[in-house]
Amino acid sequence: MTMVTPQPLDQEDEEMLVPHTELLEGPQPVQGPIALDGTPPIEAPQPMEVVGQAEVASTAENQAVEEQPQASRFTWVIENFSRQTNKKLYSDVFVVGAYKWRVLIFPKGNNVDHLSMYLDVADSSSLPYGWSRYAQFSLAVVNQIHNKFTIKKDTQHQFHARESDWGFTSFMALSDLYDPGRGFLMNDTCIIEADVAVRKVTDYWTYDSKKETGYVGLKNQGATCYMNSLLQTLYHIPYFRKAVYHMPTTENDMPSGSIPLALQSLFYKLQYNETSVATKELTKSFGWDTYDSFMQHDVQELNRVLCEKLEDKMKGTVVEGTIQKLFEGHHMNYIECINVDFKSTRKESFYDLQLDVKGCRDVYASFDKYVEVERLEGDNKYHAEEYGLQDAKKGVLFIDFPPVLQLQLKRFEYDFTRDTMVKINDRYEFPLELDLDRENGKYLSPDADKSVRNLYTLHSVLVHSGGVHGGHYYAFIRPTLSDQWFKFDDERVTKEDMKRALEEQYGGEEELPQTNPGYNNAPFKFTKYSNAYMLVYIRESDKEKIICDVDEKDIAEHLRIRLKKEQEEKEDKRRYKAQAHLYTIIKVARDADLSEQIGKDIFFDLVDHDKVHSFRIQKQMPFNLFKDEVAKEFGVPVQFQRFWIWAKRQNHTYRPNRPLTLQEETQSVGQLREVSNKNHNAELKLFLEIEIGPDLRPLPPPDKTKEDILLFFKLYDPEKEELRYVGRFFVKSAGKPTEIISRLNETAGFSPDEEIELYEEIKFEPCVMCERLDKRTSFRSSQIEDGDIICFQKLPQAQAEEKYRYPDVPSFLEYVKNRQIVHFRSLDRPKEDDFRLELSKLHTYDDVVERVARQLELDDPSKIRLTPHNCYSQQPKPHPIKYRVAEHLLDMLVHYNQVSDILYYEVLDIPLPELQCLKTLKVAFHHATKEEPVVHNIRLPKQSTVGDVLNEIKTKVELSHPNAELRLLEVFYHKIYKIFPLTEKIENINDQYWTLRAEEIPEEEKNLGPQDRLIHVYHFTKEAALNQMQVQNFGEPFFLIIRENETLEDVKVRIQRKLEVPDDEFSKWKFAFLSLGRPEYLQDSDVVSSRFQRRDVYGAWEQYLGLEHSDTTPKRPFTANQNRHTYEKPVKIYN
């Protein structure tokens, strides 16, 4: 018998698919809500392969599409189940969401000893190319004795041609299914249920978060998803948002320089914007640059730093203490003696709690562990003031919890065996309601206020998806604490059910449903790398206060006005952009623009067109009508206007080329733009020529013939080092410069008979070309034409070169072209400018370091070492500039195709040329008896030998005896790879990636017998990786002599004495011979020497005596990689 029924109207989405938690299996969830509706029941067609009769014989094909349910339950009753001989069975076809489905089962298992069950697209073979559909579904085997024992599993999937079925290979054990006492087979009948919910796949190109959810997301700047998830969480704590709005700010503040204003602006936009919000203003207010935005940091760390910064900014304001009121709780650390009456307590505050995940099943287990009592006894007794050493109990209890409880789950831990951070993906449950008064207040101290009910409800779940070296952050939040959850994933906000926000973020393992039933063998289980990382709970008794109303009256008026204006400007820009194709931008330059810009903003050519007046004109407007617009704007009647078209010359200069013709002025603006601009951008650039009479009134433009040339003039003053625009006028092409001398003198304010020098400014890219003009040669002969620039100055005197830095126009323009402001930063403080110098790109290496030395008041410039800047990372490059290798300043500043304006400096103790002839090595010296190694920087000439290094070390360290001999080892990943010969040159020794270790040679090693062996001894531990055991080395490796016929029992005595390990700990150690990573465990009676090859075999480090034990040694204060720029940056908010 087969039945299809719709879901009841009053049933919640999450109830439909909730499995028994301990049986949850399935793939990673696909985001999105489930569509439910309550359309009438539909009956499916006759069965295909299954024994059993349908109650109604109507076919699905006859049903109208609009009547078909979006979510339905299909029930499949299979009689004579144990006698089924087919390997696989298909159910009847049933229809949900206008799609045909069927259930596929393997009664005896799909090559496993479990029932295998899948949901299948019934008509997949006949569907058109490229089809796909999405369904969220559960499959169940009904328990016919008691429904609560029904086994139900759920998942979701995007079905398509290559994956037309999806489900569970190991649904339930066959032994349970066929056991008549279990209730799954009654009268040899099995009942299977499939709950299927079909929804449209969201097209996120057109998805509108505000329309779908009422909320908007935050844009990701590169790697700021960790920040976005935290900001959304804080924003959705209304009391916090209200406090931010009430922080004092003024209309004169700039968001990029004020954290309170930037946060107010961000929160306002989240509240009132229609689209996702950018966070650049906020990160700029933090003092972050682009590089910081591409560095992924830790949510927990950012949360602390941001709250501390806001707490500081709130001091002295009406909202002072808000952070404490919301997030601050207190606990009591205590030590209580058992045998005497002595107790020590200390009260501490917390803003968040770090809870262990590893070894804990859920939040309550973590709290149990947090308050666990530690016994101080034996060697670890407590020193109790007047009572001396005493047995004691040590622990933590809570005095009070805050209204908003932030729980940081310790998903990341330092793995001492691997010497690295690892992510804990274990399953870890957290409840919707958290009762911290449970078991008679077991977490509370005697001083706690018992009248406060510490019952909390879950507000948000911050999720990390990925591994220890990166991943993605997003948040599940229920802003009003209703049953509706929302997922905030950067720009996208979606509605989610409770199961998605809670159970699916527990972590742990899932079984991947099979895609090709009949071909797969065993189910594939995988670790879920998406799991909860931070939880925010709100106390039930405080939720009315915390989840308060926040509206416009909470927002400062100046902020409302500013942000509404921003919104209007944004809308104007959008409209402007949408209509851009109908308009032409006309940029009109005038004499006033040339006077304003030349000598200040620009020195070459005539004008920066981006800084002149622009008109936005409809393309259809006739140019003559445009002249009316110009007349209104500039007050120059149409008859006095003459327009010139600009042209780009072959030498890359841009000059007025010719006046517009009368015929051109009758054309439309759009046609004229196309004629004048071959690049077809939306701009038309013009020069407006206006003649002004003696009475300062405009005059009609003079007639222009082919003989008339329009020239522009700049005046240079070498004393003031000043270049300025002094006007333009027409000259005859047959005329000579001598004919205009008196007019130029008058323009410049010189006496009429002043001797002047004239230069033609020809080009400035790629180099400056400015040539003296022969005053006695005609303009035509000198190839002068319309739009040319003539620079002039008083005739330089003989002593001018000594008197002025730049005595003539060409030298001044050369200087302007190459001058460069450089910001110098100390290499120790790479974020802060120390000083700036105006230099020339043509300055030599010596010129630059000399100027820096002068600035630092340093006598010897050769002690300055410079390091270039990486424009992409905004950090110093890893290698400094070698002495005189960079020829000019420009060589120091170029980074790929960019020119930086930053250099880093350091002051050396010896001159750089000397230092470059030396080699500096970091050597860790291991004393024969002292435990901790000490790192020494050894600086010697490059031609020195290892013997010289060891002699230098002897002068710096304390030896066990005066005649001690040293050796130098190369250590990498806790293995000894090389003993350096004393004669080896140090020039090619690399200390960037390997650790160099110096140590005394034990006396016993100096006189090895013919049968003695010097073997490598390493510490190791074993751990599972990629489904196999792998050896991980740790700790300090060492050499050991083994004698002929010496047993492991004898060797162990010497090892224990050498390492000073206590008996109880040493008894737990295991010993193995390892070759190429494979351990062969040894017995006390084994002869150790028989396992090892002769000495001096290459690769001896891969054959060693391994000491297997847990790594409890503290981390060493030095690192294998000494590269100065590989450190991981902490989160910093600078402002």
Query: If you write DSSP's letter for every residue of 723-768 in order, what string do you get?
Result: EEEEEEEEEETT--GGGGHHHHHHHHT--TT--EEEEEEEE-SSS-
Reading the block at residue 844, the tokens are: 């030599």
With the C-alpha atoms ordered 818, 819, 821, 824, is the resulting torsion angle positive or negative? positive
Instruction: Give the confidence band of 249 by pLDDT, cuts at 50, 70, 90.
Output: confident
Rounded mean pLDDT of 165-191?
A: 90
Per-residue confidence (pLDDT) for residue 201, from 0 to 100 = 64
Mode of pairing for the β-strands spanning 722-732 and 698-699: unpaired
Confidence at 370, pLDDT banded by 50, 70, 90? very high
Return the ∠ at Cα 446 (arms to 442 and 452), rounded to 5°.
75
Does 1031 have pLDDT greater than 90? no
pLDDT, tens digit, for every residue of 678-695? 555 568 999 999 998 888
Both tokens of 507, joined, read 């972590």
User: What pLDDT, in 10s, does the model give residues 281-307?
Assistant: 887 877 765 444 445 456 677 777 788
Residue pair 332/346 in contact by the 8 Å Cβ criterion: yes
pLDDT reported for residue 1097: 45
Confidence tier at 1101 by pLDDT (50, 70, 90): low
Which of 352, 220, 351 has the alpha carbon at shortest distance from 283? 220
Residue 30: name the closest of 496, 638, 468, 453 by CA.
Answer: 496
Q: How far apart are CA 1109 and CA 1126, in angstroms?
A: 31
For residue 193, pLDDT over 70 is answered with: yes
Q: Which long-range contacts (CB under 8 A, 24 or more apart) does 777-785 make?
A: 777/736, 777/737, 778/733, 778/734, 778/735, 778/736, 779/709, 779/731, 779/732, 779/733, 779/734, 779/735, 779/736, 779/737, 780/733, 780/734, 784/709, 784/711, 784/731, 784/733, 784/760, 785/709
Model confidence at 1004, pLDDT cuts 50, 70, 90, reads: confident
CB 960 within 8 A of CB 927: yes
DSSP one-letter string for 947-980: HHHHHHHHTTS--SSTT--EEEEEEETTEEEEE-
Question: What pLDDT is stored for residue 4 in this prediction?
Answer: 45
Best-predicted range by mean pLDDT among 362-376, 1068-1082, 1093-1107, 1118-1132? 362-376
Span 985-1014, average pLDDT? 82
Residue range 627-641, pLDDT digits in tens: 999 999 999 999 999
Exposed, middle or buried, 406 (CB in 10 Å: 0-12/13-18/19+)? buried
Task: Summarize the confidence of residues 273-278 as an average pLDDT.
Answer: 88
- Predicted confidence (pLDDT) at residue 44 exceeds the cutoff of 90: no
Among 989, 916, 893, CA closest to 947: 989
Higher pLDDT, 523 or 911: 911
More confident residue, 732 or 42: 732
Angle CA 421–424–427, to nearest 5? 180
pLDDT of residue 202: 62
Query: Which residues, other chains included, contact 487 with Cβ-Cβ below 8 Å and sequence gap of 6+?
Result: 31, 474, 475, 476, 493, 494, 495, 496, 500, 501
Confidence of residue 142 (pLDDT cuts 50, 70, 90): very high
Burial of 471 (0-12, 13-18, 19+ CB in 10 A): middle
At 578, is the pLDDT very low, low, confident or very high (cuts 50, 70, 90)? confident
Q: What is the pLDDT of residue 38?
A: 31
Contact 442, 547 (CB under 8 A): no
Q: Is there a contact between 1094 and 1011 (Cβ–Cβ < 8 Å)?
A: no
Strand-strand pairing, 769-772 and 894-895: unpaired
What value does the mean pLDDT of the chain take?
82
Tokens standing for residue 329: 């709780």
Contact 384, 392 (CB under 8 A): yes
Residue ranges of alpha helices (H) inside 876-996 are: 889-893, 912-916, 946-954
pLDDT at res. 571 = 83
- 190-199/71-78 β-pairing: antiparallel
Most confident of 40-44, 495-499, 926-930: 495-499
Average pLDDT on 1101-1123 reads 60
pLDDT for 66: 33
Please give the Cα distance from 868 to 1001 (Å, whole number): 43
* Element holding 619 (H helix, E strand): none
Helix H segments across 315-432?
322-327, 363-370
Q: For residue 418, what pLDDT band results from cuts at 50, 70 and 90? A: low
Global pTM reads 0.51
Beta strands in 454-519 (DSSP E): 455-467, 470-477, 485-489, 492-496, 509-512
Cis before 766? omega within 30 = yes
Between vectors from CA 930 to CA 929 and to CA 932, what angle results, nearest 5°? 140
Euclidean distance between CA atoms 1057 and 761, whole angstroms: 86
- pLDDT at residue 798, as a whole number: 76
Point out the least confidently predicted range of 12-26, 266-280, 478-492, 568-582. Answer: 12-26
User: How confident is residue 67, by pLDDT bands cut at 50, 70 and 90?
Assistant: very low
Between 465 and 749, residue with greater pLDDT:
749
CA angle 197, 202, 207 (to 5 degrees): 140
**Does position 22 have pLDDT exceeding 60, yes or no?**
no
Region 181-202: mean pLDDT is 87
Specify the pLDDT at position 731: 94
Question: What does the pLDDT read at residue 906?
Answer: 93
The Cα–Cα gap between 220 and 803 comes to 57
CA distance 712 to 828: 51
pLDDT at 682: 63
Would strands 902-907 and 819-826 be described as parallel, antiparallel, or unpaired? parallel
Query: What pLDDT digit, counting tens, does each position of 524-563 carry?
Result: 456 677 889 999 999 999 999 999 998 888 888 888 888 8
Instruction: Please report, in angstroms and rounded to a whole number, the separation of the first and last CA atoms in the chain.
Output: 72
Q: Identify the band that residue 117 occupies on the pLDDT scale cut at 50, 70 and 90.
A: very high
Q: b vs e for 719-744, b when ≥16 Cβ sit within 10 Å of the residue's Cβ?
A: eeeebbbbbbbebebebbbeebbeeb
How big is the chain by its Cα radius of gyration, in Å?
A: 41
State the amino acid at position 859 in one-letter form. D
Q: Give pLDDT tens digits for 797-808.
A: 877 677 888 999
Alpha-carbon distances, residue 790 vs 713, 729, 733, 762, 942 (angstroms): 5, 11, 14, 9, 59
Q: Where are the alpha helices (DSSP H) in 415-509?
A: 438-441, 498-501
* Mean pLDDT, residues 994-1007: 85
- pLDDT value at position 484? 95
Residue 61 confidence (pLDDT) above 70:
no
Q: For residue 983, with 0-12 CB atoms within 10 Å meaning exposed, 13-18 middle and 19 or more buried, which class applies?
A: exposed
Beta strands (DSSP E) in 810-852 are 819-826, 835-840
CA–CA separation, 940 and 987 (whole Å): 10
**In the predicted structure, residue 1029 carries a pLDDT above the cut 80:** no
How far is residue 102's CA from residue 773's CA, in Å, rounded to a whole number? 93
pLDDT higher than 70, residue 980 = yes
Q: What is the pLDDT of residue 252?
A: 74
Type of residue at 574: R
812-829 burial, b at 16+ Cβ within 10 Å, e below that, comes to bbbbbbbebebbbbebee
Closest of 666, 646, 665 to residue 710, by C-alpha = 646
Higher pLDDT, residue 1011 or 68: 1011
Type of residue at 162 = R
The yes-or-no verdict on residue 914 having pLDDT over 90 is no
Answer yes or no: is pLDDT of 263 > 50.
yes
Q: Please give the structure tokens belonging to residue 10.
A: 């009053």
| Residue among 254, 257, 250, 255 at smallest CA distance from 267 | 255
| Distance of alpha carbon 668 from alpha carbon 657, whole angstroms | 20
Residue 1027 is predicted with a pLDDT of: 46
Cα–Cα dist 474/488, whole Å = 6
Query: What pLDDT does 396 receive?
Result: 94
Q: Give the residue among 134, 119, 132 at the shortest CA–CA distance from 31.
A: 134
Could you tell me the CA-to-CA distances from 515 to 49, 118, 157, 662 in Å, in that order? 21, 9, 10, 76
Structure tokens at 6: 């719709």
Catalytic residue numbers?
A: 225, 472
Residues of the chain above pLDDT 90, percent: 40
pLDDT band at residue 435, thresholds of 50, 70 and 90?
A: very high
